[in-house]
Amino acid sequence: MTQMVPNSTNEIMAKKDTSTGPWRDAWRSFSKNKVALVGAGIVLFFILLAIFGPFLAPQGINEQAIKDHRLLPPSSQFWFGTDDLGRDIFSRVIHGARISLGVGFFSVVGSVVVGSILGIVAGYYGKWIDTIISRIFDIMLAFPSILLAIAVVSVLGPSLRNALIAIAIINIPNFGRLIRSKVLSIKEEEYITSAKAIGMKDLRILFSHILPNSLAPVIVAGTLAIASAIIEAAALGFLGLGAQAPAPEWGKMLADARVVLRNAPWTMVFPGIAIMLTVLGFNLMGDGLRDALDPRMKN
C-alpha cells in the first residue's frame, strides 16, 4: 500500500505535463532510482576524469625517479604510491581512465553500429539474408569471447587500437541478435503496416519507425557492454595483447604489478579498484536504464 502513494502522484504529474514523450517518461523513472543515480554518478566522475585527467594528475605518467622513488607506499606526495619504475600510480590511474573509457565507449559504438545494420537487414528482409547473417552470429557466439578477441589481436598484432577493434568485433553478434529480434517483432506491428499503407518506402520505414522503436534495449545493452568491454580491454592488456608499455592502461598496470605484488600491493590494488568502480558504475546505470526503458518492467 505504501507504494501506491508515490505511484498515484506520478500519474498526476504526468497528466499535468502535456508534452510527455517516451524519453521524458523514461528519464522520470530513471531519476527516481537511487542506485541507478549512484551508478550514473560514478560513470560521470570517470568521464570527467577521462576528459580532464591530464590537467588533474599531479605527476607525469612516465616521470621516473628510479633511484629515490621506487615502490614507495602511498604517502602525501604519492597518494597511491609508486610502481617498480618509480612512476606515480595516482597519476597513471587518472590517465588510465581516458584509455579504458575510450576503449569501452568506442568499441561498443562500433559494435552497435555494425550490429544494428546487420541485425536490421537480417530482421527486416529475412529469408536467406537472415539465415546467412544469423549463422555467422551463431558461429561467433560459439567461441568464448576473450578467446575470439585473442585470435583477432594475434592476427592484427598487439596494440591498444587492435584490442579495441577485437572487442568491437566480438560484441557485434550480441547487438546484431538483439536488434534482429526487436525488428522481427516490430515489423509485425500495425503501425508498420499502416506506414506501408500510406505509401512509405522501406528505408523510411526502417529509419523512422523501426529503428527508433528498437533503440531502447540497445541503449541498455550498450551501457552494460561498456562495462564488459572495459574488463575485456583490461584482460587483453594484462595478457600483453592490448595497450603496450608505457601506456597507463589499467589492465597493463595489473600485469606489471604482478611481479612486485608481495612487496608492494598498492601497485595492484589501485588500478584494480579503478576497474571495479567503473564497471560497477556502468552496471548500476545499465540496470537503472533497463528499468526505465523496458516496457515489460512497467505496470
Partner 1 sequence: MTKPLLQVEGLKKYFPIRSGVLAKQSGYVKAVDNVSFHVNEGETLGIVGESGCGKSTTGRMLMRLLEPTEGKVTFDGKELTSISSTEMRKARREIQMVFQDPYASLNPRHTVEKILMEPLIVHNIGNAKSRKKKVHEFLEIVGLSSYHAKRYPHQFSGGQRQRIGIARALMTNPKLIIADEPVSALDVSIQAQVLNLMQDLQKELKLTYIFIAHDLGVVRHISDRVGVMYLGRMAELATSESLYEEPLHPYTKALLSAVPVPDPEHKREQIILEGDIPSPSNPPSGCTFHTRCPFKMEACTSIVPKLEEVKPGHFVACHLYNEQVQH
Enumerate binding residues for partner 1 (CB under 8 A).
18-22, 189-191, 193-201, 204, 208-209, 212-213
Shortest CB 214 distance to partner 1, Å: 11
Q: How far is the CB of 112 from partner 1 (least distance, A)?
A: 19
- The C-alpha cell at 87 is 612512476
Q: Which is nearer to partner 1, 63 or 189 (CB)?
A: 189
Q: Choose among 58, 95, 90, 49: nearest CA to 72.
A: 90
For partner 1, the closer CB: 85 or 215: 215
User: Measured from the CB of residue 10, what is the shortest distance to partner 1 in angstroms?
Assistant: 14
Shortest distance (Å) from residue 196 CB to partner 1: 6
CA dist., res. 264 & res. 266, Å (int): 5
Toward partner 1, which CB reaches closer, 64 or 213? Answer: 213
- Compute the half-sphere exposure of residue 298: CA atoms within 13 Å on the CB side of its CA: 11
Is the CB of 22 or the CB of 60 nearer to partner 1?
A: 22
CB of 202 to partner 1, least distance (A): 10
User: CA 227, CA 284: separation in Å to the nearest integer?
Assistant: 10
Q: In 10 A of CB 128, how many CB atoms?
A: 8
Residue number, 31 or 194, with CB nearest to partner 1:
194
Nearer to partner 1, 17 or 63 (CB): 17
Q: Where are the alpha helices (DSSP H) in the chain?
A: 4-16, 22-31, 34-56, 66-69, 89-125, 127-142, 145-156, 160-186, 190-198, 202-204, 211-238, 250-257, 266-293
Closest to 243 in 3D by CA, of 161, 123, 141? 161
We find the least distance from the C-beta atom of residue 171 to partner 1, in angstroms, to be: 26
**CB nearer partner 1, residue 135 or residue 161:** 135
CB of 22 or CB of 54, closer to partner 1 = 22
Report the nearest approach of partner 1 to the CB of residue 298 (Å): 11
Using a 10 angstrom Cβ sphere, with 0-12 exposed, 13-18 middle and 19 or more buried, the burial of residue 7 is exposed
Residue 191: CB minimum distance to partner 1, A: 5
With CA atoms as reference, report the closest residue to 270 among 78, 125, 137, 133: 78
SS3 294: coil
DSSP per-residue letters across 68-122 = HHTTPPS-SSSTT-B-TT--BHHHHHHHHHHHHHHHHHHHHHHHHHHHHHHHHHH
